[in-house]
Amino acid sequence: MLLGLRTIYGQITALVFLALLIIVVLAGPLLERWASGDHRPPDIEQVTEHVHTVGRLLEAAATPAEREIILDAARRSGWDMTLLPLSMHAQFTTSSSQETVWARVIEWLFPPDNSIFPLGGWRTFLNDQRIVAVQVDGATMLVSPVSSDPFLTSDFVGRGSYYLVALITLIFLFFAFAIWAIMLPLRRISRAALNADISNDEEVFEERGSVEIVALARALNGMRKRIAIMVESRTRMLRGISHDLRTPLTRLRLKAERLPEGDSREAMLSDINHLDRLLGESLDYLRDNYRREEFERTDIASSLQTICSEFADVGHDVTYHGPNRLIVNCKPLAITRAITNLCDNATKFAKKVAVELRTDAGMMVIDVVDDGPGIPETYRQRVLEPFFKIDAARGGNAGFGLGLSIVSEIVQAHGGMLEFLDGKEGGLIVRLTLPMG
């Protein structure tokens, strides 16, 4: 039984039974008392029965005085009855200018079913007032007005109110159920999917809720694990190939260094060094330690100054501009790797490079500014793709095109933004905007 209630089908069935229970046990007695209360005006069938009864009494009365006594007694009981000449029957109509379409629809849905048929029929109007009339004798008739609102006097208030309350109750319960059992879990799963990290070993999709929602979350967790295993296996394969290529490359370098001095020897060593850089770049891209690195409190200003000093020590014009100390919460090794990649890329194509640090509205902004040829506007999004290169713009001595891809992934891991801007006097500005907390 409890297992059945854990499914959406079982929960919907329970909602239907709950709605019926509410109607029968709670709402039923209240509706019965309201429908039979004194505040509800009598319906046309009740009025017809009373008018017919009083009419028979008036017909049996011997004198006008007796008729007046009977009418007074009926009026004291709350019944508005009047004796009118039978000749006014000619003024009866079957419609009224004040009657609404809604009133006609209600009466069509719930027509009177009394065996007593009033004079002029069930739809009788006199001077735009709906009435019930019965003939008393050959000269007079007894007339009583009827409520002009058929909604209050029809069976809809009695039996039909059950249907209305049932419909409202079911709609409310289904709406609440849809939010609680379907919309909220799906929103939780979609949010987890947007924030999912394939390198995270923990379960991304929380397995709780109905059986169907749990099955969906379990399937998504299984799919994430299979994707992670596939990516990891391919990464290990590529990493192994890169490492294996290092061995013959080292032998080639040793053989080239034994060659006599000359242009051929220098060209061969240059090609070997270029291949070594390409392998190093691919290994850096495959080595995704920055994804597993934890956030920690770091003096980012000190880290940037260290990076600039290391480039300056090997002869590059790389300077730092910014505060001497700035404590932020970040992945320090990942940030160091990103700025190092940007500075290394800039020094290949520019003479001067500046690393600027500032804060803006709770964010830290790091600009890597160079005076090189820049990147054309049409390529600024594509350079973030792995293995994409624009040798014509930034020179021919390029790598695999993985440096900016690594930077982009590090920025995304911090929840930040990466931009390419034109320098004021030419060159390129690579801007990293990252949260400080």
Q: Could you tell me where in the chain the CATH 3.30.565.10 domains are found?
A: 290-435
Q: Could you tell me where in the chain the CATH 1.10.287.130 domains are found?
A: 197-287
Tokens 């695999």 belong to which residue? 400
Assess contact for 379 and 394: CB atoms under 8 A. Answer: no
- Structure confidence at residue 27 (pLDDT): 57
Angle in degrees, 0-180, between the axes of helices 403-413 and 332-349, rounded to the nearest 10: 150
Distance between alpha carbon 277 and the CA centroid of its chain, in Å? Answer: 47
Query: How many Å apart are CA 349 and CA 244, to the nearest integer?
Result: 31
In the chain, what is the straight-line distance between the N-terminal and C-terminal CA atoms, in Å?
Answer: 49
157-176 tens-digit pLDDT:
555 555 666 677 777 777 77
User: Binning pLDDT at 50, 70 and 90, where does residue 326 land?
Assistant: very high
Residue 392 in tokens: 């014509």
Kindly report whether the global pTM for this prediction surpasses the value 0.85. no
Please state, rounded to an integer, the average pLDDT across all residues of the chain: 78
How much of the chain exceeds pLDDT 70, in percent? Answer: 76
Q: Please state which of the ranges 151-155, 309-313, 412-416 shows the lowest mean pLDDT.
A: 151-155
- Strand ranges for 248-326 from DSSP E: 296-299, 317-321
Is the predicted pLDDT of residue 150 greater than 60, yes or no?
no
Residue 101 in tokens: 């379409």
**The CATH fold of domain 197-287:** Helix Hairpins (1.10.287)
Query: How many Å apart are CA 319 and CA 135, to the nearest integer?
Result: 113
Which among 98-107, 153-162, 255-264, 415-424 has the top mean pLDDT?
Answer: 415-424
- Structure confidence at residue 37 (pLDDT): 47
84-138 tens-digit pLDDT:
888 888 888 877 777 766 666 666 666 666 667 787 777 788 887 888 888 888 8
Bigger pLDDT: 358 or 268? Answer: 358
Assess contact for 384 and 404: CB atoms under 8 A. Answer: yes
DSSP string computed for 401-420: S-HHHHHHHHHHHTT-EEEE
Which among 13-27, 37-51, 258-272, 285-299 has the top mean pLDDT?
Answer: 258-272
For 290-435, which CATH class?
alpha beta
User: Binning pLDDT at 50, 70 and 90, where does residue 399 land?
Assistant: low
Distance between alpha carbon 202 and the CA centroid of its chain, in Å? Answer: 25
